[in-house]
A and B are shown apart, each in its own frame.
Chain A
Amino acid sequence: MDDDPTDPGAPSPGDSSPGGRTAVVEIRGLVKDYGRVRALNGIDLTVHAGEVVGFLGPNGAGKSTTIRCLLDLLRPTGGTMRLFGRDPRTGGVEARRRVSYVPGELRLPPRSTAGEILDSVARLRGDCDPARRADVTERLGLDPHKAAKGLSTGNRRKVALVSAFMSRADLLVFDEPTSGLDPLLQQVFRDLVREAKARGTAVLLSSHVLAEVQRTADHAVVLRQGRIVARGTVDDLRGNAAQRVEAVFPGTAPDLGAVPGLADIRTDGRRLRARFTGDPAPLLDALARHRPTSVEIAEPDLDDAFRDLYTPHADDTAARPPEAHA
């Protein structure tokens, strides 16, 4: 993920980064205002061919707004964007030929069947692979004969996912792709993303669920209130993410304030709650000494994981985000 602020330039189609990889998406200093509200405040984002990039942030952070600017649904207030080397505003039709998008809030024409909707997408795109369409339809378990108005959220999501994966697009953009899907189908989705990546397809995956991004993405960018607060490989970010610790003890919960990495400790009778980052050994030792009756160390949700990044500190906002360049 290159993040070179000295190069806001306009590369020609097929332009390559210094590493020799083709940049599929290049966003520099993207700003979007709604009236007096600044929804995006200087977003930089690069996605290379064959790369899966996670776009993380709580609801309202600006993930969808960024994607909708990139796809020319929204007109940015400032900054530059390149989609396959083209300005989405002027070259969007050509650029979108290579992009397939699954919106977060998906509405379908109510009286059409799933199959008819996929047919009309295929006609508009002209790059759909019938064999892949049949394969993905079957793996997601979508009944193409059902009318859209009778489809559940999960089934509508399947229609959108088939429409994306059946294309030969070079970039797949997903906005909260697995909401409404059961765990088995989420696994199918992850498999499909991996297969797409293996074909050289780039994927931009927006989500507020860390686990989803963690299991599929190579890199992730974390958004908060229209700014990027962290970026790096998923492992880097995971190392910085605080886990939730909850333990119950036979007697009054002990004071574990001395354990390195443990923060926000709250005790309530026999119960202790805290957040934890870093090397788990000292924590496990300390817990074991007090013979807890139960211990839960949970996968952090995004708000927990990046609370430090999210809490604005007026003195050092610029210094804190862990910058990791790929």
Chain B
Amino acid sequence: MTGALLSGALRPLGRALAVWGTALAGLILLTSAFWPAFRDSPGMTEAIGGMPQGLVDALGLGDLGTPEGFLWGNLYSLLVPLLMAVAGASLATSLTARQEESGHYELLLTQPVSRTAVLTARITAAALAVLALGAAVFLVQWAADAIWDIGVPVARLASTVALCTFTAVVAAAATALGAAVTGRPAVAEGAGVGLTVAGYVVSALFPLREGWESAQYISPWNWALGGEPLTTTAEWWRYLAPLALAAVLAALALAAFDRRDIHAA
């Protein structure tokens, strides 16, 4: 039964996963291909040296001349985790609120299955899809590292991509909660993307204002990526905290989904 629900949820995801995977791979390969040029032009680092330190930190431009700084500033301080989170929110929406809006839930939920089993399968499917995307991102980045001789330790790459992936899992779980409470795709996707963007803003911009620095620690984005995992080995809790938040959001989603009316087509 659980297997049937899970495979039913996973089957239609292939195409969307391929699109997101291709887009992220393209971004990573294109960006990484510029590394040799960056390495050989010290002028770039000097230009950044002229900018205010707070802005440099906020934009993740800390040290573009080093391999870690280059990848962090161009990809992992914002673009890759943000895109992965948007992918997670989008995949989770298509598995939940979009199904309800288009009336596909009607036939499914009138079968001898519980709502909890259906939503559990769908949240699991979304999480598996995000993990698959994370695995693809890691493999592509690892390959790019070898091709253009970037030279970031593979453990740091794995850790960084894992933390980006967990950020995306949080976005997917927030999406599932939005879908479970309202059944509306816009609200669901907005919940996932909104939490991610708010987390980024709090993590990256609040520290620039005096007195607001400590606010960054309420941001799930900061939990995962606030330690700059490409340059510093991430503490264990940075993996655990986003996953714990995702679990809480998923549990709330299951509770909410079992309490309301299912929308008709």
Q: A interface vs B, CB < 8 Å?
A: 64, 68, 71-75, 92-94, 96-97, 99, 101, 103, 105-109, 111-112, 120-121, 123-126, 160, 163
Contacts and interface: CB of A to CB of B under 8 A. Distances in A.
B132 interface: no
B110 A101 contact: yes
B4 interface: yes
Interface of B: 1, 4-5, 8, 11-12, 102-104, 106-114, 259-262, 264-265
A96 B265 CA distance: 20
6 contacts: A68-B264, A74-B262, A75-B260, A108-B107, A121-B111, A124-B108
A105 B265 CA distance: 6
A24 to B, nearest CB: 16
Given A94-B112, A107-B106, 9 more contacts: A71-B109, A72-B109, A96-B111, A96-B113, A105-B264, A107-B104, A112-B11, A120-B4, A124-B112
Contacts of A121: 107, 111
A96 B5 contact: no
A160 B265 CA distance: 15
Contacts of A97: 112
A120 B8 contact: yes
B198 to A, nearest CB: 31
A103 B109 contact: no
Contacts of A124: 1, 4-5, 8, 108, 111-113
Contacts of A72: 109
Contacts of B102: 107
Given A68-B264, A75-B261, A105 B103 contact: yes
B112 to A, nearest CB: 4
Given A107-B102, A111-B12, A125 B111 contact: yes
Contacts of B109: 71-73
A96 to B, nearest CB: 4
B261 A103 contact: no
Given A108-B104, A120-B4, A124-B5, A73 B110 contact: yes
B264 A64 contact: yes
Nearest to B105: A73
Contact of B112 (A75, A120, A125, A163): A125
A155 to B, nearest CB: 15
A73 B106 contact: yes
Nearest to A92: B114
Contacts of A101: 107, 110
Contact of B261 (A73, A99, A107, A109): A73
B110 A99 contact: yes
A93 B114 contact: yes
A158 B8 CA distance: 21
A300 B217 CA distance: 70
B107 to A, nearest CB: 7
A97 B11 CA distance: 24
A101 B113 CA distance: 14
Contacts of A96: 110-113
Contacts of A105: 103, 106, 264-265
B261 A74 contact: yes
Contacts of B265: 103, 105-107
A218 to B, nearest CB: 24
Nearest to A102: B107
Contacts of A120: 4, 8
Nearest to A98: B112
Contacts of A107: 102-104, 106-107, 265
B246 to A, nearest CB: 27
A150 to B, nearest CB: 16
A189 B114 CA distance: 30
A255 to B, nearest CB: 49
Contacts of A123: 4
Contacts of A75: 259-261
Nearest to B118: A124
Contact of B12 (A68, A103, A106, A109): A109
Among A75, A97, A107, the one with the most B-chain Cβ atoms within 10 Å of its Cβ is A107
Contacts of B112: 93-94, 96-97, 124-126
Contacts of B104: 107-109
Among B102, B109, B260, the one with the most A-chain Cβ atoms within 10 Å of its Cβ is B109
A254 to B, nearest CB: 50
B106 A103 contact: yes
A64 B102 CA distance: 17
Contacts of B113: 93, 96, 124
A71 B264 CA distance: 13
A101 B107 CA distance: 8
A123 B108 CA distance: 12
A99 B110 CA distance: 8
A97 B113 CA distance: 9
Nearest to A96: B112
Nearest to A68: B264
A218 B160 CA distance: 68
A92 B262 CA distance: 15
B185 to A, nearest CB: 14
